[in-house]
Structure formats: C-alpha cells, structure tokens
C-alpha cells in the first residue's frame, strides 16, 4: 500500500509539472496583433552557491555515473538534467553555468535538482544565487531583407558577405545583438529577460519596414535556415 501511495504521489507531482509547463508556454505566446514570429531557443544562467571548502568534483563523479568529468580537458564537471532539460557546468569554486533552458522560469527547478545531486555526493552547498545572463531567440520577419541597403541605412550594422552571410546589427535600445539574413530569418542574443526579446524583435520588425530595406521578392537565397547546437 505504501508503494502504491508513493507512486500515486509521484504521478500527481509529474502531472502538476506538465500542467505548469503548459501554462507557462501559453503565457509566452504572442498576441495575434503583434504580428511577431519568434521563439526562445536557449537561456543561459550562472549560479553561485555557498561552500565551506572547494567542491570535490571527483566525489560527485564517483556518486553519479552519468556525469562527465575529465579535468585534463576541461576544469568543470558536466551534469545533465532531463526535466526540465538542461546542461550544467559545475566548478570546484561553487560556480555553475546552466545552458539549454527554453524558459528562464525553469532555472530554479534545474538548480534545485543539481544541488540535491551534489548533496547526495556528501558535499555541503547552500543558498544558490541564480542570474540570467543571456537569452537566445530565433525568428522570422516574413519579408526578404536587402542587406546591402540595411548596412548603409541602419546604424551600428555590419555586413561582410564574404565572411558571414548575415548582417550583424547591434541594437542600442534595448541592448541586444541581431543576426539578420536576407530571407528575413533572425537570431536575437544579449537579452536577459524575455520581455526584452519581445521588445527588440518588435522594434526591429518596425525598423526594417520604415527604413525601406524590407523587400517582398528578392529571388532565391542560398541561405536556408538557422541550426542551433
């Protein structure tokens, strides 16, 4: 009976987590009138935990066989969490880097699981402080872009097609960096909040049309899509 009750509790907790994720995804959808098409691809966060002495990464590696630790190649230990999916780099100083998140709101849950795994290895850590460092988003402006013209009329823009097929645009307010391709595909990086991503994409969408660099038909382009690793 005790085993059945434990299983039921776990099932309920899992269901609650799934419902929470669904609610969060609904909240992040843009309203139709915004006419914006983008999605968060990666959220990077840093974490600092309090320690009484340097973390023995070998001790964690011995306790958790699924982690990766090769100090000769990289000084940090690599731990992966399935739900929410994320990759964590853990250093002996008590600092961590969390990558692979799709939502900044997932960071506390990931860090909680990482801290539990560290404690299971017999290591004392406490008071994790999480800081979102970067949000990467991809999107589509649904119009072809004249990148040569954009490089001329857009301030803080750089375009060297022989080096890279996209234009690099450093938006000053909000502070973000865009990669813009002739197909209208974009990558936004440098934001620390999803609201900033939204504001930046909305502003760029308006700028390319007002500046006259949006072209509905520029023929076929060699550039097809953006691949994230």
In this structure, is residue 175 part of a structural domain?
A: yes
Q: Quick one: pLDDT at residue 27? A: 40
Half-sphere exposure of residue 145: CA atoms within 13 angstroms, side-chain side: 33
Asked whether the predicted pLDDT for residue 5 surpasses 80, the reply is no
Pair 107, 153 in one domain: no
* C-alpha pair distances (Å), 189 with each of 45, 66, 182, 207: 14, 31, 18, 18
In this structure, is residue 83 part of a structural domain?
A: yes
The total number of structural domains in the chain stands at 2
* CATH code, 153: 3.30.310.10
Q: Quick one: pLDDT at residue 36? A: 84
In this structure, is residue 112 part of a structural domain?
A: yes
17 prior amide bond cis, ω within 30? no
Pair 116, 167 in one domain: no
| pLDDT tens digits for range 30-71 | 443 356 899 999 999 999 999 999 999 999 999 998 899 999
Pair 147, 210 in one domain: yes
In this structure, is residue 101 part of a structural domain?
A: yes
Q: Quick one: pLDDT at residue 129? A: 97
pLDDT band at 221 (very low <50, low <70, confident <90, very high): very low
Q: Quick one: pLDDT at residue 214? A: 93
Q: Quick one: pLDDT at residue 49? A: 97
Q: What is the pTM of this model?
A: 0.78
- The 77-81 sheet, strands edge to edge: 77-81, 86-90, 95-101, 38-51, 125-140, 185-191, 176-180, 167-171, 157-158
Q: Quick one: pLDDT at residue 215? A: 86
Q: Where a domain ends, among 133, 163, 187?
A: 133
In this structure, is residue 5 part of a structural domain?
A: no
List 68's β-bridge partners, or say none. 78
Q: Quick one: pLDDT at residue 217? A: 52
| Tokens of residue 55, six digits | 């973390």
207 SS3 class: helix
Which of 99, 63, 104, 57 lies closest to 80, judged by CA?
99
End-to-end CA distance of the chain: 46
Q: Quick one: pLDDT at residue 34? A: 54
Please give the share of the chain, as a percent, with pLDDT higher than 70.
79
194 SS3 class: helix
Residues 89 and 78 sit within 8 Å (Cβ to Cβ): yes
In this structure, is residue 9 part of a structural domain?
A: no
Q: Where a domain ends, among 133, 159, 187?
A: 133
Pair 99, 161 in one domain: no
| pLDDT tens digits for range 66-104 | 899 999 999 999 999 999 999 999 999 999 999 999 999
* C-alpha pair distances (Å), 171 with each of 37, 80, 161, 188, 203: 18, 34, 20, 10, 9
In this structure, is residue 23 part of a structural domain?
A: no
Q: Where a domain ends, among 133, 151, 176?
A: 133
Q: Which domain holds residue 109?
A: 45-133
In this structure, is residue 13 part of a structural domain?
A: no
Least confident of 107-111, 161-165, 216-220: 216-220
Q: What does the H/E/C string look like for 88-106?
A: EEECCCCEEEEEEECCHHH
Asked whether the predicted pLDDT for residue 2 surpasses 90, the reply is no
Pair 102, 69 in one domain: yes
């Amino acid at each position: 009976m005790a085993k059945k009750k434990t299983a039921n509790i776990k099932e309920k907790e899992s269901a609650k987590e799934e419902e929470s994720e669904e609610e969060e995804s609904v909240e992040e959808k843009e309203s139709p009138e915004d006419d914006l098409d983008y999605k968060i691809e990666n959220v990077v966060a840093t974490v600092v935990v309090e320690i009484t002495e340097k973390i023995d990464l070998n001790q964690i590696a011995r306790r958790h066989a699924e982690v990766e630790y090769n100090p000769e190649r990289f000084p940090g230990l690599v731990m992966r969490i399935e739900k929410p999916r994320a990759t964590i780099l853990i250093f002996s100083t008590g600092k961590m880097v969390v990558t692979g998140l799709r939502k900044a709101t997932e960071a506390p849950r990931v860090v909680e699981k990482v801290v539990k795994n560290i404690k299971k290895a017999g290591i004392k850590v406490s008071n994790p402080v999480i800081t979102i460092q970067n949000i990467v988003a991809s999107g589509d402006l649904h119009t072809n872009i004249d990148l040569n013209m954009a490089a001329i009329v857009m301030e803080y823009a750089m375009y060297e097609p022989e080096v890279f097929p996209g234009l690099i645009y450093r938006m000053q307010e909000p502070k973000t960096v865009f990669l813009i391709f002739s197909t209208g595909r974009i990558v936004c990086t440098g934001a620390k909040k999803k609201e900033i991503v939204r504001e930046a994409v909305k502003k760029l969408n308006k700028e390319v049309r007002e500046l006259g660099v949006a072209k509905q038909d520029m023929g076929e382009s060699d550039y097809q899509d953006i691949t994230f690793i």
